[in-house]
């Protein structure tokens, strides 16, 4: 399951947009998810991730953005039993 909102806070306010990308860091042979962002905050997240790498808070490696592909099925939503 993916959280309903973007991981970014701007001026102390949580973004209410749904996430569109998973943000991860590729380091050696491992990949670490560091957040989820909406389309509006991709560049902000990239700058923040680079800053965190420089300060040693996260591993140095390639920052990767993968588009989230939503999947909706009857079995997950149980639409057929909503009589």
- Provide block-wise average pLDDT over 10 residues at a time, the chain (83 residues): 85 93 94 94 95 94 91 62 56
Which pLDDT score, from 0 to 100, does residue 53 have? 95
Q: Distances in Å between the alpha carbon of 46 and those of 21, 29, 52?
A: 12, 21, 10
Beta strand pairing call for 13-14 and 9-10: antiparallel
CB atoms within 10 A of CB 41: 23
The predicted pLDDT at position 10 comes to: 87
pLDDT score recorded for residue 25: 96
pTM of the model: 0.76
Instruction: Give 44's contacts (C-beta < 8 A, 6+ positions apart).
Output: 8, 10, 37
């Amino acid at each position: 399951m993916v959280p309903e909102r973007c991981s970014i806070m701007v001026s102390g306010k949580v973004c209410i947009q749904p996430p569109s990308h998973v943000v991860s860091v590729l380091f050696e042979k491992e990949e670490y998810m560091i957040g989820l962002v909406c389309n509006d905050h991709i560049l902000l997240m990239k700058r923040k991730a680079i800053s965190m790498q420089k300060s040693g808070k996260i591993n140095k490696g390639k920052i990767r953005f993968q588009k989230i592909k939503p999947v909706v099925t009857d079995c997950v939503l149980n639409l057929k039993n909503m009589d």
